[in-house]
Amino acid sequence: MYRYIIFDLDGTLIDSLPEIAASANHALKTCGFSEVPNARDLSWFVGPPLREGFKKLVNTSDDTLIDKLIIAYREIYKDVSLEAKLYPGIKKLLIDLAKTKTLALATSKPTVFASRILERLELNHLFSTITGSELDGTRSTKEELIKQVIETCDAPSSDFVHVGDRSVDIIGAKRNKIDSVGVLYGYGTAIEIEESNPTFIARDVNELGSILTSSV
């Protein structure tokens, strides 16, 4: 059914919460915030564009402050991001799928960071295109990112499926008129995924593999 499988990165391929939480806390401390959240309380912060995450985290619309937080965040994220781990079973799944299908990545993370992470994990060669946001925050919504992948691949929307762990992934896929798989092992809750109504739901990596294998 599908010729192209578009993957989200954080919460779908890699467990990156520790590194993202550490970077967010560094940013908060650098910008003078005395209270910082525990990593487990920042799971919602993973997925949406960084600017949106900080606006919600510190409850502000002050762009100057948000810019300072993002700069401080990236001061350490550029290095600690390379410590993120793949979810068990993901590497084998990607290798198997890449034998017959074209894999692509769509992440709100800047392309330069996403590319470095995949290179460190020795997976970059499996992806035909790695599409992330720009460092200035443009092209950061899932709708824009998925659209860019589709345009790059130059194929009908019916040839694509997007795999992600947050409602923004499912909504972005719908707005581009492609199918989606919502995974429950990432950072989105079961309620969040179910209410966004993806084409398929995968409880774990094994089930994701079964869905993609039987649907491709």
> Are 140 and 108 spatial neighbours (Cβ–Cβ below 8 Å)?
yes
DSSP structure class, residue 7 = E
List the catalytic residues.
8
Q: What is the 3-state secondary structure (H, E, C) of 99-147?
A: CCCEEEEEEEEEHHHHHHHHHHCCCHHHEEEEEEECCCCCCCCHHHHHH
Residue 56 tokens, joined? 């919600």
